[in-house]
Amino acid sequence: MEFSPESKAGRLQENIHMIKVDGLTKRYARTVAVDDISFFVDKGRIVGFLGPNGAGKTTTMRILTCFLPPTAGQVEVAGFDVLKQPLEVKKRIGYLPESPPLYPEMEVVEYLTFVARLKGIPRSAVRQRVDEAIEKCALGDVRKTLQSKLSKGYRQRVGLAQALLHNPDVLILDEPTAGLDPKQIIETRQLIKQLAGEHTIILSTHILPEVEQTCQQVIIINKGKLVATDSVDNLTHRLRGSEAVAVEVEGRDGALDPAQVRKRLEQVPGVSRVLDRASDGRRASFEVESLEGKAIRAEIARAVVEAGWNLLELRPVAFSLEEIFLQLTASEDEETAGGGEK
């Protein structure tokens, strides 16, 4: 990494926040796209930027990359303010917009060489950097292909290569897996994971499993407002608060009355509610939720056995991020389906 742009004002220590957003607001003529958002991102982390369409993800990313100026609030990337030192910020970010910014009339190598020069890589290092990026993003087969002839998957990868070229501290990827087929999605995710550590990565998506699989931290926004920001693990825990347990019960002599079982389960101390899942006369399954901070599995097991039923299954249910997301974004307004992303 002989190419690390020298910085006087803001050389950061290892433990400082790589991205600092404080009270960020972006107003357009009639709408507020981003409303008073604050968050931090530590060095070397992969952060998922999550929200339904039109939530303000792209706007926030465009502000981070100095493409748009914020209306209010402070945004620092790698210790530099996006308004005061945009050139310093731009040197340290790699950005993959929603649609990869390719020139259809250029070949892949030609394009990457152009971008490398544009990003300020010294002429002597350009070739090596381009080759590295091509290798990282597995573009060897299309080196000499015109970009207008590239398939969607390759276009996305060239876009990624373009963002990586100058070894930026921060990578900002706007929906990097949108429009790819499942195999390409997996490959792209693996590539992104490999890049973490060296780079701090922010990726936006509205696909939840993607965040669960790739990201360490998640920032959820909805309608321009920050809904939650935490590590993926913490968020799942925090939102769970209470325990949810799946229970399946079988009657010992064949017949079983689900209502009776349900009643018995509701009497178990610490249970807040019982949901019917399925029953077929012999067996019945339920989902039992506990009150906050109560462990109920042992009590349930005892209650079922003492009542003379067979306990077939007793398993804690984890909230998927999807449910959390819906819970968070729906709590303000049931209709989360916003308009087109801008």
Partner 1 sequence: MKNIWVIYCKELKSYFASPIAYLLMAAFALIFGYFFYAATAIFVTRGLEMQMMGRGYPMDMNEWIVRPLLMNVSVIALFLVPMLTMRLFAEEKRSGTIELLMTSPVRDLEIILGKWLAAETMLAAILGFSALNLTFLFIHGKPDWRPILVGYLGLLLQGGGLLAVGAFISTTTRNQIIAGGATFAACLLLWVLDWVTAYETATWAKVVAYLSVVTHFEPFAKGVLDTKDVVFYLSVIFFGLFLTARSMESLRWRA
Residues of this chain that interact with partner 1 (CB under 8 A) are 28, 62, 65-69, 87, 90-91, 93, 95, 97-99, 101-106, 114-115, 117-120, 162
Rg from Cα positions in the chain: 25
> Is 47 or 102 the residue whose CB approaches partner 1 more closely?
102
Pick the closer one to partner 1 by CB: 104 or 316.
104
- Taking the complex as a whole, how short is the minimal distance between the CB of residue 177 and partner 1, in angstroms? 18
Q: Tell me whether residue 117 or residue 149 sits nearer to partner 1 (CB atom).
A: 117
For residue 52, which of 305, 327, 325, 332 has the smallest C-alpha distance?
A: 325
Q: Least distance (Å) from partner 1 to the CB of residue 103?
A: 6
At closest approach, how far in Å is the CB of 89 from partner 1?
9
For 135, phi then psi, to 5°, come to: -70, -45
How deeply is 323 buried, as exposed, middle or buried, from its count of CB atoms within 10 A (0-12, 13-18, 19+)?
A: middle
Size (the chain), residues: 342
> Which residue, 117 or 238, is less far from partner 1 as judged by CB?
117
* Cα 256 from Cα 253, distance rounded (Å): 8
Residue 293 CB, shortest distance to partner 1, in Å, is: 47
In angstroms, give the least distance from the CB of 90 to partner 1: 4
Nearest residue (CB) to partner 1, 44 versus 86: 86
